[in-house]
Chains A and B, each alone.
Chain A
Amino acid sequence: MIEELNLLNQSEIKEWINNSYKLTSKCGNAHYEITFSEIADLDKCLMITLYPVDKNIKGDIKNELFSLLRKIINNNYCIIYICDHIDSKHNARNRLFRKWFVEVSDKSIMRIEEQFSEEAIVVALMKDDFEHKELLLKIIAEQKK
């Protein structure tokens, strides 16, 4: 799968400078910065942020993004993606991220989606054998009570 994705990738990505990865869209016109930051008290869980440098210029980064995410997840991290309501597009953002996941991910990565409030949908991506998976699932379940 990784080899297939590499063949699909047309642009150079993943330069890490000043705390973020720099990612250029396939056609080269859109530039994104991706950050990963630790989440307090959640071991090996990283919050991802992904933003175009110019919010008006967006492009196709699906393959490059998931190629990077797969490497990180295989390094035994859980990726936490928060779809917030800042522009009232959290549901659309979640649907897009889910669509990308279905299109380019593989069965070794599991996806958990949880609505924490009206303001946020939280998505977790991890390997099925992620070392803190059971604990994370337990915390999420307790939160829902």
Chain B
Amino acid sequence: MKQLNLKAIIEKAIEDKKAIRECIQSNGDLNKLAHDRGIKFIKPV
């Protein structure tokens, strides 16, 4: 890992989290959200 601005990373994550919540609770399309916001969802198990 390189030198990171963790605050900036967390701020971006908070915005992503808000968008994910709105998408789920409005029965939206997470694929489209991922594309639009550059979110990389993964299936870890």
Which A residues have a C-beta under 8 Å from some C-beta of B?
16, 18-20, 33, 35-43, 46-47, 49, 51-55, 68, 71-72, 75, 77, 80, 82, 84, 86, 116-117, 119-120, 122, 132, 135-136, 139-140, 143
Report whether A84 and B14 are in contact in the complex, using a CB–CB cutoff of 8 Å: yes
Q: Is the interface of B mostly helix, strand, loop or mixed?
A: helix
| Residue in contact with B45 in the complex, picked from A18, A47, A72, CB distance below 8 Å | A72
| Residue in contact with B21 in the complex, picked from A38, A49, A135, CB distance below 8 Å | A49
Which B residues have a C-beta under 8 Å from some C-beta of A?
1-2, 4, 6-7, 9-10, 12-14, 16-18, 20-21, 24-25, 27, 29-31, 34, 39-45
